[in-house]
Structure 1
Amino acid sequence: MTMIGPENADQARLLRLLRDDGPRSRVELLDVLGLPRARFGAEVDRLAAQDLVETAGPAASRGGRRSSLLRIAGRVRFGAVAVGEGRLEVALTDGELTIINRYAEPVDVRLGPEAVVGRAVELLAKLQAEAGLARLTGVGVALPAPVAVREGNPVSSPALPGWHQFPVRGTIAAELGCPVQVDNDANVMALGEHHAGTGRAFDDFLYVKLGSAIGCGLVHGGALYRGASSGAGDVAHLQVSEDGPLCGCGQTGCLEAYCGNAALVRQAVTAARAGRSTALGDRLAESGTLTIDDVAAAATGGDPTAQTMVRAAARRLGQVLVSLVSFVNPAIVIIGGAPLGIRPVLLAEIRGVVYRRSTPLATDSMPIVLSDLDDRAALVGAARLISDQVFAAR
């Protein structure tokens, strides 16, 4: 595999500036980078020779001779893969991480990593062919599981049965002939928020990802914090009650066993069968099963049992966030992954617990908000993940 990318720190800074801020004039870039004009020109020429940057026309006049705009070259294209709850998504982005094209389809992760990763490779190859590319610049992958980032392999997780230590990164890289980076979805979504969402304005924030697999991404000092062995942010299996329900991890009382989508659906089925909810009972009788969207629809429609379940789950999550906020002291907490119908109730309950029980110093100016990227967070974040690698000095 022929490696492309910046040869030194100055080239890396230049590429990341163009990725994050879009086309900029040579004069502006000279000011920011603080390089001698001749050195700057030589670095730009070397990046252009690799098809990493290109001229984008004349810049606005600042008096005197007009400068030209530079941008990430049009041949720079990143692939993004997000494996989610019953859904596989792939996308193609440009060098500024704007999504150009995407595919999504249902997927059963229980089919095993060979089948799911193989299908992701097929869809990426299709996007590559449609764009007329000889190869992709790189591919980022988001998985709903802990990931050993250095190796690019998922580590034992109830959300991905049979995937333990499967070489996701190595498999995709061998098939597509480009660099690949893999991380857990909460970290990836935090990167997406930092690049294109509410988190763009903050260097220190928590991103909480809800769903069947709960996770937390921490951006600290403008960079993703993974911890010593890529395990930071794994809040799903924090024990919130010693005698709580059994979790998929084999322990009892985990946060995910109370607040995950599967947990809420189990509670809803129990309530429906016990006759405590007409709305859920009717839906169960009609379809034979319930989903998290059914729970959200019942709560939105005013069903008191469904609303009580959602509020209870939100309070449990809020209790965990109290500890996280007090320890990390983020500038903002961003919450993603919640079903559309229950977001207002969920957010109100979480805010109530966190603001009531946290210290004023930690929360006095700290907003708690919903993500505005929705399902784009994982795809933009996956492209950001691999671009961080490709745009790092060799």
Structure 2
Amino acid sequence: MRHSLAGRAESPMQARILAGLRDEGPLSKAQLADRLQVSRTTIAVEVARLVELGLAQEAGPAASRGGRRSTMVDLASDIRFVGVAIGATGISVGLTDGRLGLLTVRERPCDIRKGPEVVLASALEEVRAVLAEAGVERPIGAGIAVPGPVDFHRGVPVSPPIMPGWDGYPVRDALSRELGCPVVLDNDVNALAVGEQHAGVARAAKDFLYVKIGTGIGCGIVIGGELYRGVDGCAGDIGHIRVEDGGPTCACGNTGCLEAFASGAALGRDATALARSGRSAVLATMLKERDGTELTAADVAAAVAQGDPHAVQLMRDSGRRVGQVLASLVSFFNPGLIVIGGRVTGLGHALLAEVRAVTYRSSLPLATGSLPIVLSELGDEGGVIGAARLISGSVYAADERS
């Protein structure tokens, strides 16, 4: 399939039509007129223009409601978005249709510390591979997420603690040139939050927090159905909230940060120390099998599954500190849902139980009485879907949630 690049919506009304078709599926012109509270004539004109732009298509007659039958409208069948989720240790690339249904996903390991040229070259290889696999010449747009603070409007990372060499690098513009399509750049946890909102457990939530616990720790904030980035784009950077005076030095240069105590990198560091000291025979065996290579949060999860008390304590300490910070956020924000995601959730319900217990115990009953705290069900695909969701909001235009 060869895809000629479509245009963008030209008016708020067109944007609302496209967003409705994306989120709800095909709708009749009569349904669109009712939902948007405009005349059918107005809808007919706007839909006709969207068809000309290559963004929508008419899909046959709707079921009769009496009188003249309306026409069904759907997104153009050849719309394709690319979502790129770059993490600290790997890249996920996916191709979606206009409704953000995943058509194909590719993953590869990659060290974010190698710098933007190396990492983006790897990402572009995967993008071109998924496009070639699907027979797509170029997508209508691409979204990319990175594990650090981002100036969303300029499309550049800003002083990202775990991304040496990325500060100010024109990621958005570089990828836009290479792919020949519009590109948006955002923080990884923001992409995960909107991915969860679109296709995960937060579909019915208007006010929720998405907390990622991976190599770093961050929080995506959704208020009234809209992603909240803050004035400078760094809202939700909870990994650098101080939880103790002193302690390990964080990647940001400060001490006592949540991330320095409870992230996947911190769990791996502390597990390696336990193994080398001989205090944990289970972890020591794992380290020996790795030929001395440092352990990871996945190893801690494996040791917890074997009942190792030292690994269990590491998990509990991590969950306790995360819960303490979440309790403060609950008191301040009063969300309707908290979703926990990221690679450290490989610790599963044991970690979740600790986070829940501390959060509920440390918050006022009014704020937590009906507050679900749940694990994400999307996994690594959440970032890809979220990145595609972000660019769909830009291409479909005037999307209030992007």
SS at match of 1:236: helix
SS at match of 1:216: strand
Describe the superposition over 1:300-348 as per-residue Cα deviations: whole angstroms up to 9, x where unpaired.
1111000000001100000000111111110010100144541111111
State the alpha-carbon separation in 2 of the partners of residues 119 and 275 from structure 1.
Answer: 39
Q: What residue in structure 1 maps to residue 191 of structure 2?
A: 188
**Which one-letter code corresponds to 1:390 in the other structure?**
V
How many angstroms does 1:378 deviate by?
0.2
CA contact (8 A) 2:80 2:139 kept: yes
Q: What residue in structure 2 maps to residue 94 of structure 1?
A: 97
Q: Which residue of 326, 343, 351 maps to 2:348?
A: 343
Query: In the alignment, does 2:31 pair up with 1:28?
Result: yes
How many angstroms does 1:77 deviate by?
0.8
The alignment covers a number of residue pairs equal to: 394
Q: Which residue of 10, 14, 17 maps to 1:14?
A: 17
CA contact (8 A) 2:150 2:157 kept: yes
State the alpha-carbon separation in 1 of the partners of residues 115 and 50 from structure 2.
Answer: 40
Query: In the alignment, does 2:215 pair up with 1:208?
Result: no
Regions of 4+ moved over 6 Å: none
TM-score by length of 2: 0.95
Percent identity (aligned): 51
Q: Which residue of 287, 292, 299 maps to 2:304?
A: 299
Q: What residue in structure 2 maps to residue 176 of structure 1?
A: 179
How many angstroms does 1:148 deviate by?
0.8
Q: Which residue of 263, 282, 285 maps to 2:285?
A: 282
Query: In the alignment, does 2:276 pair up with 1:273?
Result: yes
CA contact (8 A) 1:5 1:393 kept: no
In the TM superposition, what are the counterparts of 1:219-298 in structure 2 within 5 Å? 219-287=222-290, 288-289=292-293, 290-298=295-303
Describe the superposition over 1:77-131 as per-residue Cα deviations: whole angstroms up to 9, x where unpaired.
1111011132111111011001111211111222210111122223222323333
State the alpha-carbon separation in 2 of the partners of residues 389 and 326 from structure 1.
Answer: 33
Q: What residue in structure 2 maps to residue 385 of structure 1?
A: 390
**Which one-letter code corresponds to 2:178 in the other structure?**
E
CA contact (8 A) 1:300 1:341 kept: no
Describe the superposition over 1:190-238 as per-residue Cα deviations: whole angstroms up to 9, x where unpaired.
0001111111101100000010111000000110001111010011111
Describe the superposition over 1:128-171 as per-residue Cα deviations: whole angstroms up to 9, x where unpaired.
33333342111001101111111111112232111111110010
CA contact (8 A) 1:192 1:381 kept: yes
CA contact (8 A) 1:299 1:341 kept: no
Q: What residue in structure 2 maps to residue 199 of structure 1?
A: 202
State the alpha-carbon separation in 1 of the partners of residues 343 and 72 from structure 2.
Answer: 41
State the alpha-carbon separation in 2 of the partners of residues 363 and 303 from structure 1.
Answer: 32
Change in 2 beyond 3 A, CA 1:303/1:341 = farther
State the alpha-carbon separation in 2 of the partners of residues 7 and 341 from structure 1.
Answer: 44
State the alpha-carbon separation in 2 of the partners of residues 358 and 306 from structure 1.
Answer: 27
Q: Which residue of 347, 366, 372 maps to 1:367?
A: 372
State the alpha-carbon separation in 2 of the partners of residues 255 and 339 from structure 1.
Answer: 14
State the alpha-carbon separation in 2 of the partners of residues 194 and 149 from structure 1.
Answer: 19
Q: Supply the RMSD in Å over aligned alpha carbons.
A: 1.7
SS at match of 1:199: coil
State the alpha-carbon separation in 1 of the partners of residues 333 and 40 from structure 2.
Answer: 42
CA contact (8 A) 1:7 1:393 kept: no
Q: Which residue of 41, 45, 50 maps to 2:48?
A: 45
**Which one-letter code corresponds to 2:105 in the other structure?**
R
Ranges in structure 1 where 5+ consecutive residues have no aligned partner? none
State the alpha-carbon separation in 1 of the partners of residues 376 and 391 from structure 2.
Answer: 22
State the alpha-carbon separation in 1 of the partners of residues 346 and 45 from structure 2.
Answer: 54
In the TM superposition, what are the counterparts of 1:56-205 in structure 2 within 5 Å? 56-205=59-208
More deviation, 49-58/2-11: 2-11
CA contact (8 A) 2:6 2:53 kept: no
State the alpha-carbon separation in 1 of the partners of residues 68 and 303 from structure 2.
Answer: 65
State the alpha-carbon separation in 2 of the partners of residues 241 and 128 from structure 1.
Answer: 48
Q: Which residue of 376, 385, 389 maps to 2:381?
A: 376
SS at match of 1:56: strand
State the alpha-carbon separation in 2 of the partners of residues 291 and 242 from structure 1.
Answer: 25
More deviation, 150-159/183-192: 150-159
How many angstroms does 1:16 deviate by?
0.2
